[in-house]
Structure 1
Amino acid sequence: MGKYIREIIQNFSLSLLIFLFPHLVLASESKTAPNLQKIITEKIAQMSLEEKVGQLFIIGFPQKEIGPDLEKFLSEYKPGSFLLFKRNITSGEQIRDLNNQLYRKSYLYTKLPPLIAIDQEGGTVSRLPIKPAPPNALAIGQTQSPLLAEEMGYQTGLFLREVGFNMNLAPVLDVSDPLTGSFIGVRSFGANPKIVGEIGVAYSKGLLKARVIPTAKHFPGTGNLKADPHHSVVMNKSSLETLQSRDLKPFEAYNSLGENIAVMLSHLIYPALDKSNEPASFSKEISTVLLREKMKFAGLVVTDDLQMQGSKQLLRPEAAALKALQAGADVVMLTWSFEDQAKAFDFVKAAVKNNELPETDLNKKLSRILTVKAFANLYRRNPHQPSLLAGPVMTSKSYAKVEENILDQNLKTNLIAREQQTKERTPSSISKVCVLSPSSTFNSSFKKTAKKETKVLLLSAKSTSEEITAWINKENCPASVIAVTGPKTATTVKALSEDLRGTLIVVNLGSPRLFNEGKGYRKVLQLYFNHKDSGKKVAQHLDEILNANTSHYVLR
């Protein structure tokens, strides 16, 4: 990694080192950094119109390396930021090399370092090959521990920095009940605005500690909507009172982190906030009046992808880009098609020339962008710290420990009844338990840890409710633990008889949609986190689970 950092620095010209790097230190160590703003103002005055417009865009591309087509686009349009997806990644080393190329080419054509972003939320929205797999936001939220959230944010930031990212499109600050079937699902920290705010702010502090820009989304909040703006135009009909008391609360807490942060705008329509029914991305009432003026947000305002259907069905990408910038966005996102991106660059440049987007507004946006870049660009890595790359994957002992602690605290805080936490652990009168799961890891880790006689059945895609019933009856187990990892197992469990369901402890390791019912079962544990030690942790707390009075555990 030390060699990698040296290569990046060597690829920047001496002028950048003299011009920016000393002030990056000032920006980080001083809250005011008086010299930084002067330098940024001077830099903006030296920039051409093409260079200025390029800084307003964060683009995606299909390549895994910089070939002739991509380089030609970079040289002509000079984009200031990049967003990478799974399609760009094959291994940790490959993505590190690609980001190194992006740094070099970006400085060559823009004379500025880029922001290189990624969606690394955890759970299913994880782009980097991190082992073990990162927990989703809901699993972190259920710990109710800001300390664990901050440490997970920091460990995530270290992984991102290791391979050259300096911006994360996380955390998700949408307040969403996991049992409603919302499209956000386990990407939310939970349904309690106060907890979502505390956990989201803590996670963001961890990212900032690693010099990674957090990007809170999706402002002003998606709530429990089932419709997904990736696929259609969606309206959030929540009242002003609901939005103020629920959805905006986590973003109000997040704003306290200062200017080196970002917020991503939703594509949803909010009639209670903007009577013109403009989506948040294009609404001056939302992105300027509400976010900038009333809530005093000082960081970057970024749109979600303008090529999503929630935007594209309303406006062509180039018109959407201009409208979002006019409404208050600092950076607009286009992740597909060099042709669409080129049209948008040219459209915005023409708008600046004819004063549809005044250059004074453009320069204010650039000031915020360069302020964030000054903070994010400086690498501070201990050269004695071991590399986080292990062949094609990324891992570390510190990260693995935090992940295990999150699972453990998840169980302790929310899956064990409150009254049980204040008592000494009391052995249950049940001495034998059956364990069923399509995951051999869950079964084996449970059996190795359990202090009770344990019978194990590995389920397959062909397992039926009749076969499960016959096996449990044959083993004569008074209680059974069955782990749900996918829709097939969930359907099979729901088909069991009422009498048998009353003896089952169902552990949902997947989406809330898999198993959101609790009535009729002995217990339903909503872990939402298929960790390698899930079976072990459930076994460790089995007596509390069996003795607890509450039947359905989830952070509401």
Structure 2
Amino acid sequence: MHKYIRENIRNLSVTLWLMLFPHLVLALPKNIDNLVEKKVAQMTLEEKVGQLFIVGFPQTKIDASLEKFIAKHKPGSYLLFKRNIKNAEQIRTLNDQLYKLSFKVSKLPPLIAIDQEGGAVSRLPIVPAQPNALAVGQTQSPLMAEEMGQITGRFLREVGFNMNLAPVLDVSDPFSGSFIGVRSFGSDPNLVRELGFAYSKGLLKARVVPTAKHFPGTGDLKADPHHKVVENNTPLDRLYSKDLLPYKGYAQLGPSVAVMLSHYIYPALDESKEPASFSKKIIQDILRRDLGYKGLIVTDDLQMQGSRQLLRPEAAALKALQAGADIVMLTYSFADQEKAFQYIKKSVASGELPMKAVDEKMKRILTAKAFANLYRRSPQSPSLFQGNSLTSNDYRELESTILERNLSAALMPKDLPPKVQKRSMASSENICLLAPNKKFLSSFQRATKRSVKSRLLAGGVKADTVKEWVQQQGCDKVLFAVTGPQTAGLTKALASSLKEKSIVINLGSPKLFSKNSKSPRVMNLFFNHEDSGKKIAEHLDQILYSSSTNLVLR
């Protein structure tokens, strides 16, 4: 196996320090605090207020309206979504323009952030698609997590991002039905702490600011604060022994990291029932004091219903900043953003949000920006572009290894089986494979050593149609690749006689198959990789003919 953590970023520019502080030739680490204090003292009220916001916008390029908005309000940070991205080259151009325009109007570089968790929460055109956190978690390898963080950071840097809204440090059982699902590394708080720390360390090596979320933890709650106000009634001892544990480790990474606050209400942590985003007790007493956290604190989007149903966005922004947040997030509606900028400016001018508190926030923000400053890739390093996508040989090798580890984990028996002779595959048996996408089928067929009859599950095919096809083909064993609710529902509707000789390869969400679902045997892979079919083919004997009933897990 190749060596993990192969290289560090080779060539970091000091250009930012020369632009921020032109009287200095070099800025040594021990001078940073003094330099930041001098810069804060020189900033105007408008410049300081702008730094307190991370904003989103709908454009894919800087047009007149966006340029006017940035020039007027001088936002310090930006969050980009799928709506902003057409391809890798386009997003690199947009980020370059954002950087230059922001520096022009504020004399400070921006933080440009993206949600690049992997799995379903991925924005960049990375090939093959990145694995979700659960897939990384099932490897139980901090080295793989760190390398995935570093490679992700290199992809982000390649197109101009210097902040990632990841990792997810929520401790969540993938089978609980939680809205977090496969976005969590798993249900073991110690594993989440270890892998979250390692992944973040990898991002830092690429000079990208990690953002752990959603503090103080969502647990296994099904309700999503994007849609409504949610109360988390987890007991205090459980919060400290489980949900807060990953953040205790994360706090040791230093000041160049960020934490995103949840909009959940936590009565056990704050009897006033203020959402975490607005709770001084949760932010200042628990996160800052108890956990010793020194980095940035960012709210989740204040235009989510978990916040908006309680307060208007501008009022929510003030309350979050008063509670201890450093940066407030508003990702759509120039009108709402405009109100919030003006509201905070008036609040600082009136003393409702004290200037002393604002200056403390400025110091943390500028310290993080100094870390995530201008970056120059070594000319000797290979480009990560492949057409309009991003990839690398190192990344492909890591992806393949993570997939192999996930398959091994899925095939590992929970209990040691008795010693019995393994049955070999009968050459006369007919194996059939059904999958909802051509990539899986072709990947499987290229790798298998025997003739396997296959069918594409498309166009809303019914269980009776599948039964008829299986009978026509004379299938003795049937594999179903499942990626979503439609194909999952199909397997549950199969006749009992067909279920008995079928195995589901679940490449999608854990909640597609509950422990009590009326489905065939299920092997949970949770990783819809381009080579998933190949890996299943390579382990076909073990999957279909193991003597242990525990080898294929529910």
Tell me, yes or no, if the aligned pair for 1:118 and 1:127 is still in contact at 8 Å.
yes
CA distances 1:432-462 after superposition (whole Å, capped 9, x unpaired)? 3221112222223223323454222222224
Q: Say how many residue pairs are matched.
A: 540
Alpha-carbon deviation of 1:491? 1.3
Contiguous gaps of at least 5 residues in structure 1:
1-5, 27-32
Deviation of 1:79 after TM superposition, in Å, equals 0.9
Q: How far does residue 421 in structure 1 lie from its aligned partner after superposition?
A: 11
* Equivalent position of 2:320 in the other structure: 324
Q: Which amino acid is 1:538 matched to?
A: I
Q: Distance in 1 between matches of 2:244 and 2:224?
A: 20
Cα distance change of structure 1 residues 312 and 427 upon mapping to structure 2, 3 Å threshold:
same
Partner of 2:372, secondary structure, is helix
SS class of match (2:264): coil
1:287 aligns with 2:291: no
The whole-number CA distance in structure 2 between the counterparts of 1:424 and 1:122 is 40
Q: Judging changes above 3 Å, is the alpha-carbon distance between structure 1 residues 102 and 326 closer, same or farther for their aligned structure 2 residues?
A: same
- Alpha-carbon offset, residue 519 of structure 1: 6.3
What is the CA distance between 1:17 and its match in structure 2?
Answer: 6.7
- TM normalised by structure 2 equals 0.92
Match of 2:550 in 1: 550
Deviates more, 1:317-326 or 1:137-146: 137-146
Match 1:302 to one of 298, 303, 306? 298
Partner of 1:456: 454
Superposed counterparts of 1:4-23, under 5 Å:
15-16=19-20, 18=22, 22-23=26-27
Which residue matches 2:62?
66
Q: Would you say 1:392 and 2:396 are equivalent positions?
A: no
Tell me the SS of whatever aligns to 2:83: helix
In the TM superposition, what is the alpha-carbon distance from 1:326 to its structure 2 partner?
Answer: 0.7
Distance of 1:217 and 1:324 partners within structure 2: 16
Asked if structure 1 preserves the Cα contact closer than 8 Å seen for 2:14 and 2:26, the reply is no
Q: 2:475 aligns to what?
A: 477
Q: For 2:53 and 2:500, locate their aligned partners in 1 and report how far apart those are by CA, in whole Å.
A: 56
> Deviations along 1:25-74, whole A, 9 cap, x unmatched?
x4xxxxxx321100101111111111111111111111111222212221
> In structure 1, what is the Cα distance between the partners aligned to 2:509 and 2:245?
25
Q: What TM-score, normalized by structure 1, do the two folds share?
A: 0.92
Alignment deviations for residues 346-390 of structure 1 (CA, whole Å, 9 cap, x no partner): 211222222221111111111111111000114142112122122
Aligned residues of 1:21 and 1:378 also touching (Cα < 8 A):
no
Q: Percent identity?
A: 58
- Do residues 266 (structure 1) and 262 (structure 2) align? yes
From 177, 181, 189, the equivalent of 1:181 is 177
Q: Aligned partners of 1:20, 1:155: CA distance in 2, in Å? A: 33
Deviation at 1:98, TM superposition (A): 0.8
1:529 maps to 527
How big is the shift at 1:551?
5.8
Q: Name the structure 1 match of 2:186.
A: 190
C-alpha distance 552-517 of structure 1, shift in aligned 2 (>3 A) = farther
Cα distance, 1:422 vs structure 2: 13
Greater mean deviation of Cα atoms: 183-192 or 257-266: 183-192
Helix, strand or coil: the match of 1:455?
strand
Distance across 1 between alignment mates of 2:419 and 2:390: 40
Counterpart check, 1:85 vs 2:89: no
Question: 2:230 aligns to what?
Answer: 234
Give the superposed CA RMSD: 2.5
One-letter code of the match for 2:304?
A: M
Query: Relative to structure 1, is the Cα distance of residues 552 and 229 closer, same or farther in structure 2, using a 3 angstrom cutoff?
Result: farther
Q: 1:127 to 1:519 in 2, by over 3 A?
A: closer
1:243 maps to which residue?
239
Worse overlay, 231-240 or 512-521: 512-521
Give yes or no for contact 2:492–2:519 (8 Å, CA) kept in 1: no
Alignment pair present for 1:157 and 2:161: no
Please give the per-residue CA displacement for 1:129-186, whole angstroms capped at 9, x wherever unaligned. Answer: 1111111111111111111111111111111000100000001111111212111111
1:338 aligns with 2:342: no
Tell me, what secondary structure is at the counterpart of 2:251?
A: helix
Unaligned runs of 5+ in 2: 1-10
Q: Which amino acid aligns with 1:549?
A: T
Q: Which residue of 1 aligns with 2:8?
A: none
Distance 1:387 1:468 in 2: 46
8 A contact 2:447–2:537 mirrored in 1: yes
Could you say if the C-alpha distance between residues 332 and 58 of structure 1 is closer, same or farther in structure 2, counting changes exceeding 3 Å?
same
Once residues 416 and 409 of structure 1 are traced to their aligned partners in structure 2, the CA distance between those partners, rounded to angstroms, is: 10
Letter of the 2:549 partner, please give it.
Answer: N
- CA contact 2:314–2:336 (8 Å) conserved in 1: yes
Contact 2:178 2:220 in 1 (8 A): yes
Identify if the C-alpha distance between structure 1 residues 281 and 441 changes in structure 2 by more than 3 Å, giving closer, same or farther.
same
The aligned counterpart of 2:5 is none
- For 1:465, the equivalent position in structure 2 comes to 463
- Say whether the 8 Å CA contact 1:64–1:89 is kept in structure 2: yes
From the superposition, tell whether residues 34 and 14 of structure 1 become closer, same or farther in structure 2 (CA, over 3 Å).
Answer: closer
Aligned equivalents of 2:18, 2:295: Cα separation in 1: 29
Opposite residue 149 of structure 2, the aligned amino acid is G
Residue 456 of structure 1 aligns to a residue in which SS?
Answer: strand
Shift of 1:541: 2.0
Matched, 1:95 2:99: no
Deviation track 1:11-34 (CA, whole Å, cap 9, x = no partner) reads x796437468833xx4xxxxxx32
Q: Aligned AA for 2:26?
A: P
Q: Is this contact kept in 1: 2:95–2:159, CA < 8 A?
A: yes
For 1:53 and 1:394, how far apart are their aligned partners in 2?
A: 35
Contact 2:18-2:25 within 8 A present in 1 as well: no
Residue 212 of structure 1, CA deviation: 0.4
- Partners of 1:273 and 1:495 in 2: how far apart? 45
User: Offset at 1:469?
Assistant: 2.0
Structure 2 residue aligned with 1:131: 127
